[in-house]
């Protein structure tokens, strides 16, 4: 018997919404300008799945494919790189608009600023992005990975020249380890996409960096005649990506925002637990957080993102691993005529969830609550490609995590 998808409607009391301006359009434009200065920058594809939309009974289904991002197979580099630029700009009392790729890699910057060491904890993609950006910009990186991390992801980080370790603790403990080491290091900086009391500025910059992806997706939808998505599904670990996406599209459509659905791995569903409690306070999930969705295996929410999500999300959904595995298979072997999207374990959960909601009446209550029908225009984010080749084969070739 497969585990059931769990969901809760958002009935939390609203806060004063003080963090929504973080994702204002002019703030995201700064990040987009910075990223576009990189020679490796290009807009990642928006896969239009007309055949799948028709099969599922939707008006349109669109998947932002981040497997093409900077050649790194995941979106995470957007956050870490922009946070580095903002940090260096702050240290030098300059505007971030001056922090172009050419300037950050110049002899002039090396002489004026020198070197910093950027510390982070990661399940793979964020650490690789931080390591890559540090390497490209002539800085240093130290990366700690939690117990059970993939060897392939470890090697990808090491290739970027970072000092990387796999520790015998979970992700949240690795975050604390990185913070402690940074505090003891000259020019040591924590670049972490979660926030806690007293550590809020850099996570804010990371979220704004993620806004580049949301901004591109909004533009791409308009280019194909979809002025506004009716529904946006976005996955969450600590919730930084979810807060960035929800914040950006709420600012883009202030009078008529899409319905937002936040999805988590069931083993690490801290946002769902917070929404279920219903009092507006965040909740923590601890333990090993064992899930196929390694990038979502985070039990302590980003408090900045949580504030945005509690005010604007329609439903929080806790997804068993089979949901992601199903999504990987559906995107990898699409309906005839649709483009193939190679999506990893943390990237495909949206596809698996929308299929589960639309294909059977088991989740009809959620379908009805969200108003999903043949007029709905649904946006998903495939946040990573094939970042763990052995796991990817086991799911697609061997049928690991079946749906029955």
Under a CB-based contact definition with an 8 Å cutoff, are residues 27 and 244 in contact? no
Phi, psi of 383 (to 5 degrees): -80, -15
Of how many residues is the chain composed? Answer: 404
Cα–Cα distance between 283 and 271 in angstroms, integer?
7
Residue of 64, 65, 123, 193 with catalytic role: 123
Residue of 76, 136, 259, 391 with catalytic role: 76
Q: Is 336 known to be catalytic?
A: no
Q: Is 136 known to be catalytic?
A: no
Cα of first residue to Cα of last residue in the chain, in angstroms, is: 7
| Helix, coil or strand: residue 306 | helix
Give alpha helix (H) positions in 193-320.
Answer: 201-223, 240-252, 270-277, 303-312
Give the number of other Cβ atoms within 10 Å of residue 311's Cβ: 20
Give the number of other Cβ atoms within 10 Å of residue 112's Cβ: 12
| Helix, coil or strand: residue 340 | coil
Phi, psi of 259 (to 5 degrees): -80, 130
Instruction: Please name which of 174, 182, 314, 331 lies closest in space to residue 249, comparing C-alpha atoms.
Output: 314
Render the burial of 64-92: b for 16+ CB within 10 Å, e for the rest. Answer: bbbbebbebbbbbbbbbbbbbbbbbbeee
| Helix, coil or strand: residue 318 | strand
- Please give the positions annotated as active site: 76, 123
């Amino acid at each position: 018997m497969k585990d059931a998808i769990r969901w809760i409607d958002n009935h939390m009391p609203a806060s004063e919404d003080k963090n929504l301006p973080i994702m204002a359009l002019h703030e995201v434009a700064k990040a987009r300008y910075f990223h576009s200065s990189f020679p490796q920058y290009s807009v990642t594809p928006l896969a239009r799945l007309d055949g799948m939309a028709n099969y599922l009974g939707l008006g349109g289904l669109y998947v932002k494919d981040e497997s093409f991002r900077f050649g790194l197979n995941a979106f995470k580099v957007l956050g870490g790189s922009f946070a580095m630029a903002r940090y260096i700009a702050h240290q030098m009392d300059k505007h971030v608009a001056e922090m172009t790729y050419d300037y950050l890699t110049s002899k002039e910057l090396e002489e004026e600023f020198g070197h910093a060491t950027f510390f982070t904890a990661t399940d793979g993609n964020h650490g690789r992005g931080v390591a890559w950006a540090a390497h490209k910009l002539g800085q240093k990186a130290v990366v700690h990975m939690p117990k059970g991390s993939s060897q392939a992801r470890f090697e990808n980080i090491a290739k970027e020249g970072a000092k990387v370790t796999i520790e015998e603790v979970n992700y949240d403990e690795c975050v604390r380890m990185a913070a402690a080491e940074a505090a003891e290091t000259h020019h040591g900086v924590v670049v972490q996409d979660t926030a806690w009391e007293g550590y809020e500025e850099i996570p804010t910059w990371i979220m704004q960096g993620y806004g580049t992806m949301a901004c591109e997706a909004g533009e791409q939808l308009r280019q194909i005649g979809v002025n506004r998505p009716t529904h946006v599904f976005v996955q969450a670990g600590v919730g930084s990506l979810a807060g960035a996406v929800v914040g950006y599209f709420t600012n883009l459509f202030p009078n008529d925002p899409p319905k937002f659905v936040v999805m988590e791995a069931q083993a690490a569903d801290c946002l769902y637990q917070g929404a279920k409690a219903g009092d507006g306070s965040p909740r923590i999930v601890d333990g090993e957080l064992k899930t196929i969705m390694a990038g979502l295996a985070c039990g302590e929410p980003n408090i900045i993102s949580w504030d945005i999500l509690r005010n604007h999300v329609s439903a929080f959904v806790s997804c068993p691993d089979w949901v992601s595995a199903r999504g990987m298979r559906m995107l990898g072997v699409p309906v005839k005529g649709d483009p193939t999207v190679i999506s990893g374990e943390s990237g495909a959960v949206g596809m698996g969830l929308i299929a589960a909601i639309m294909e059977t009446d088991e989740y009809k209550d959620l379908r009805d609550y969200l108003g999903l029908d043949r007029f709905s225009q649904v946006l998903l984010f495939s946040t990573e490609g094939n970042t763990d080749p052995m796991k990817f084969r086991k799911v697609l070739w061997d049928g690991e995590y079946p749906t029955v």
